[in-house]
Structure 1
Amino acid sequence: MAESAKAVGRAKYLIEGRRVRVADLLDHGLIEAGARLRFDRNRIGKTFYATVTEDGRIRVDDLGEEFRSPSGAAMVAAGMRAVDGWRAWTMVDDGRLLDAARQELLDRNVPGSHPPHRDAVRLMVHKRLQQARKRADEDDPERLSVRELLGLWGAKDRGDHIDQIEADLANHGLTTSPGFRAVTLDTLVALTTPLADGFETPDEPEIGDLQVVENDEGDDLNVRLTVGNLSPLCGVESVRPDGTLEEVITKMALDDFSQLAVLNGPRNLRGAVTWRSIALARQGNPDATVADAIDSRVEVVAYDRDLFEILPALQQRDFVFVRDQSKEIKGIVTTADVAHRYGEMATPFFLLGEVDQTLRWILKRTFDLELVRRHCRRRITAFEDLSIGESLRVLEDEEMWVRLGWPLDRAVFTARLEEIRLVRNKVMHFHSDPVPEDAVNKLRWFLDLLHKHRAQR
């Protein structure tokens, strides 16, 4: 009975936030220690064998090495750079994939150990991902925006829910293409299955969604700001090499562009046409065409490239073209885009700093430090030590609020300050997604209110 309760409890936990391991299959009797596994590389006519150990590792016969991750075992055994081990290893005794046992384990999730509304959400996500997996296996992957994907978990950005989301996707044998971490919130992604038996990594392995299966444990650090975080990968305005400069000039003038891509097919980038290249071409030939004005010295980068790595190219060229997971030219990032993004990141940081310092200034001129200390859970030696949360606790006290003497409603004011405290926590945790515009506006309006009433001090 105790072991059964343990199994149910762990099944609940598995669907709550981490990735399934082979050891979990052992604990639930879905595989036995000593079970034999095989990995058939049909394309090269070779088979690899392995054994499941008592502690849930995979010991590859030819190597004698043990691996905690099915993908790690398959990659090293076959010398491949990326492979989905859950869909590569077959259990010899019944011919099922390890992935089938993993899905059976997930199906054992039984509601009841959490509040009903939370169980309902968890089961809804589980069913939705089951449907997505079925469509992916039928080569008809579901497509949705990153924002819609996050919304399945009730998340609005890639913050605290990110590990949960990645674990749930991985447990259902799914990944996104392109990788949902490395693009904007409004970029469309497909829910697909990662690389499995018989599929090699492409020549250029930097594309993130093709490398996600390298670590089944999900413990890789992935907090980079990428090129794709600035480009929605929805396509670029372009002209053909045989087009006219009048067409180019009209398109650039209508949309206030400084450059256009010159494409001869979605993957065949010939270069770019810029105002400067047009001027140089027509200086030598008033009847110049697009072909005469092409600047071929353009930089093309993968969408999941680290943004900091391409800053020198941006400084020199002012723009880079971006290719998606299928190597099509689908985006552009300019120096203006980078300046705008860093402005989005810096603005709430500085506004929060001003709110924090203004609150301290007001409290310092209204209360004695000893009185303020009574509302703090740690030792405060000066008003400069106060956090926004501690200032909030001071102002939540009715007696302190009355002494402040502001003609404002305490409950409404402190509720907004609590919202600002939560924004502050997000900003100070350096989440990659920008703070929503409505939150920035709330910061500005709250700060205006503070400045208006601090004059009374």
Structure 2
Amino acid sequence: MTDDAADGSADESLGRASYLIEGRRVLVSDLVRAGLLSPGARLTFRQRRFGQEHRAQVSADGRIELSDGQRFRSPSAAAAAATGRGPYDGWTAWALDDGTLLDQVRQSLLDTAAELPPSGDIAAEDSAVRHTRLKEARRQADAKAPVTLTVRDLLGWWGASRRGYLVTERVAAELANHGLSTVPDFAAVGIDDRVTLTGTSGDTEDEEETTEQGPVAGQEEPGESDSPRLAAPSGNEEDKGEPIQGQTVGNLPSALKGVVSVSSSASFEEVFTKMRLNGYSQLPVLSGPRNLRGAVTWESIARARYANSEAPFSDAIVAAHAVSYADHLIDVLPELERFGFLLVKDQTNQIAGIITIADVAAEYGATARPFLLIGDLDRHLRRVISEGLDLAEVVALCNPDGRRKLAAFDQLSYGDYHQVLGNQLQWDKLGWPLDRKSFIARLDELREIRNELMHFNDKDKVGDSAIPMLRNMIELLREHGG
């Protein structure tokens, strides 16, 4: 909302777009500007377990000011600073003098935006429907009957079919606004894996002792920003920065698909049978679902039996390593190279899957194919423009003010190709018997795919479906571009 958003319908429409359509996170300053929170309002964070109370007040610019003068945009950062501990969900930690939680004030703002009269804008109406669905999910989470669904179905609430960085941020922000998170993190598992929509605990002190696995989608960490995992491109001062994304261990298909294991008291016959029946090269040795004792492999069996033909099974157990499903894939590669395989822990620290070098090779191989085709497409587009059009005219279209100092076809970007080929005059000079609008529409689709790939945000393999599109475009350029 703008500073005077409490009064005009135009500002109300902007409010709906800001919180519900664009999906950015609600800030304390938004509550102040909407008149739902007054500057100078006193806040209290009561830690009943320790018999402590922490005081703060709302500043005129919508920050939380502690009694020692420290000021924070984020309620969670303020709670962590006040206690010297954390992380906390500050929205359910801080309460007004009448006992109203900041989270309740936030929900009032969202309700107001969602209840605006229908505007005829499809996106606005879809966002209002989604708001109702998220409120119901929060109610069920608070009633200890949380909604469980696949990541694919969750994305469908936003009309999305894959997790690009903008979609991921929008989903995370709207979940956070409703006090929801997903377990496991929806961005760190496969698109057909199931996640549970959980709410924040009413006793926030319980959360401070569960820090081993880190935050999940929708929760907050201490810091200045309410968007610790991703930064939304909303233009807001808190949300600057490139969204932090990338392939996680959990994005690999085998990471959370379960494991076949044996105990340390197993026999060689049991191990042989399980490995042969499943086509495995290794089995984890577990004492309970969270206690990894090691692993047994064909190589370790051979070494143990070679050293002693009567060796007990325990001699064949070798070291194994487990990583979190939420770890970035690139960060665990050294350990994968060392062990040849890694066990994967889920959000409860149970051993839930296994990944191998073959899994990673397949993942990066699938990622590399569309990259190679994107490079080929770039070269073909540059060639047809450089061979068929005048450089001066191209520069005039792409750099009318001269700021970019374009001086050669090699300096053109993908956006420049779109600009040039979308121009009717330049298109006519190519003399192609093709429909310009259809060609440019496909070029625009490929531009979006290219952006996702270049940001390494292709979690859901949009590149796989794009491969035929890329090949067809390249073939068309070869045929008509000479």
TM-score (norm: length of structure 1) = 0.86
Measure the CA separation in 1 of the matches of 2:40 and 2:418: 59
Question: Are positions 1:4 and 2:7 aligned together?
Answer: yes
Do the aligned partners of 2:255 and 2:325 also contact (CA within 8 Å) in 1? Answer: no
Measure the CA separation in 2 of the matches of 1:349 and 1:116: 37
Give the aligned partner of residue 344 of structure 2: 322
Match of residue 34, structure 2, among 4, 28, 31: 28
Measure the CA separation in 2 of the matches of 1:365 and 1:29: 61
Q: Which amino acid aligns with 1:175?
A: S
Please, which moves more after superposition, 180-189 or 286-295? 286-295
Please, which moves more after superposition, 77-86 or 383-392? 383-392
Q: How does 1:77-116 map to 2 (within 5 A)?
A: 77-93=82-98, 95-109=99-113, 110-111=115-116, 115-116=120-121
Match of residue 385, structure 1, among 363, 387, 411: 411
Question: Are positions 1:152 and 2:157 aligned together?
Answer: yes
Question: Are positions 1:40 and 2:62 aligned together?
Answer: no
Give the count of matched residue pairs. 452
3-state SS of the aligned residue for 1:446? helix
**Deviation (angstroms), 1:183:** 2.6
Measure the CA separation in 1 of the matches of 2:246 and 2:336: 18
3-state SS of the aligned residue for 2:40? coil
Q: How does 1:220-235 map to 2 (within 5 A)?
A: 221=230, 222-230=244-252, 232-235=255-258
Q: Which amino acid aligns with 2:374?
A: L
3-state SS of the aligned residue for 2:456? coil
Match of residue 473, structure 2, among 435, 446, 451: 446
Q: Which amino acid aligns with 1:89?
A: W
Q: Which amino acid aligns with 2:7?
A: S
Q: Which amino acid aligns with 1:257?
A: Y
Q: How does 1:432-443 map to 2 (within 5 A)?
A: 432-433=458-459, 434-443=461-470
**Deviation (angstroms), 1:256:** 3.6
**Deviation (angstroms), 1:422:** 2.5
3-state SS of the aligned residue for 2:206? coil
Measure the CA separation in 2 of the matches of 1:128 and 1:2: 26
Match of residue 136, structure 2, among 131, 151, 154: 131
Structure 2 vs 1, CA of residues 394 and 101 (structure 1 numbering), >3 Å: closer, same or farther? closer
Measure the CA separation in 2 of the matches of 1:108 and 1:246: 66
Do the aligned partners of 1:272 and 1:298 also contact (CA within 8 Å) in 2? Answer: yes
Measure the CA separation in 1 of the matches of 2:136 and 2:415: 43
Q: Which runs of 5+ in 2 are unaligned?
A: 231-243
Q: How does 1:409-448 map to 2 (within 5 A)?
A: 412-433=438-459, 434-448=461-475
Structure 2 vs 1, CA of residues 26 and 422 (structure 1 numbering), >3 Å: closer, same or farther? closer
Structure 2 vs 1, CA of residues 89 and 393 (structure 1 numbering), >3 Å: closer, same or farther? closer
Give the aligned partner of residue 234 of structure 2: none
Root-mean-square deviation (CA), in Å? 3.1
Measure the CA separation in 1 of the matches of 2:430 and 2:278: 53
3-state SS of the aligned residue for 2:38? coil
Question: Are positions 1:349 and 2:375 aligned together?
Answer: no
Do the aligned partners of 1:223 and 1:432 also contact (CA within 8 Å) in 2? Answer: no
Give the aligned partner of residue 220 of structure 2: 212
Do the aligned partners of 1:232 and 1:331 also contact (CA within 8 Å) in 2? Answer: yes
Q: How does 1:41-440 map to 2 (within 5 A)?
A: 41-61=47-67, 63-93=68-98, 95-109=99-113, 110-111=115-116, 115-155=120-160, 156-194=162-200, 196-202=203-209, 205-209=212-216, 212-215=220-223, 217-218=226-227, 221=230, 222-230=244-252, 232-286=255-309, 290-295=313-318, 297-369=319-391, 376=398, 381-392=407-418, 395=421, 412-433=438-459, 434-440=461-467
Measure the CA separation in 2 of the matches of 1:200 and 1:374: 59
Do the aligned partners of 1:158 and 1:181 also contact (CA within 8 Å) in 2? Answer: no
Q: Which runs of 5+ in 1 are unaligned?
A: none
Residues 384-413 of structure 1, C-alpha deviations (whole Å, 9 max, x = no match): 334444445555567766765667666555
Q: Which amino acid aligns with 2:208?
A: T
Measure the CA separation in 1 of the matches of 2:462 and 2:350: 30
**Deviation (angstroms), 1:289:** 6.0
Please, which moves more after superposition, 212-221 or 309-318? 212-221
**Deviation (angstroms), 1:268:** 1.6
Measure the CA separation in 2 of the matches of 1:372 and 1:31: 54
**Deviation (angstroms), 1:425:** 2.5
**Deviation (angstroms), 1:354:** 0.8
3-state SS of the aligned residue for 1:81? coil
Measure the CA separation in 1 of the matches of 2:476 and 2:19: 47
Do the aligned partners of 2:175 and 2:181 also contact (CA within 8 Å) in 1? Answer: yes
**Deviation (angstroms), 1:288:** 5.5
3-state SS of the aligned residue for 1:384? helix
Structure 2 vs 1, CA of residues 229 and 202 (structure 1 numbering), >3 Å: closer, same or farther? farther
Do the aligned partners of 1:345 and 1:435 also contact (CA within 8 Å) in 2? Answer: no
TM-score (norm: length of structure 2) = 0.82
Measure the CA separation in 2 of the matches of 1:204 and 1:10: 37
Please, which moves more after superposition, 126-135 or 45-54? 45-54
**Deviation (angstroms), 1:276:** 0.6
Measure the CA separation in 2 of the matches of 1:2 and 1:410: 43
Structure 2 vs 1, CA of residues 366 and 141 (structure 1 numbering), >3 Å: closer, same or farther? same
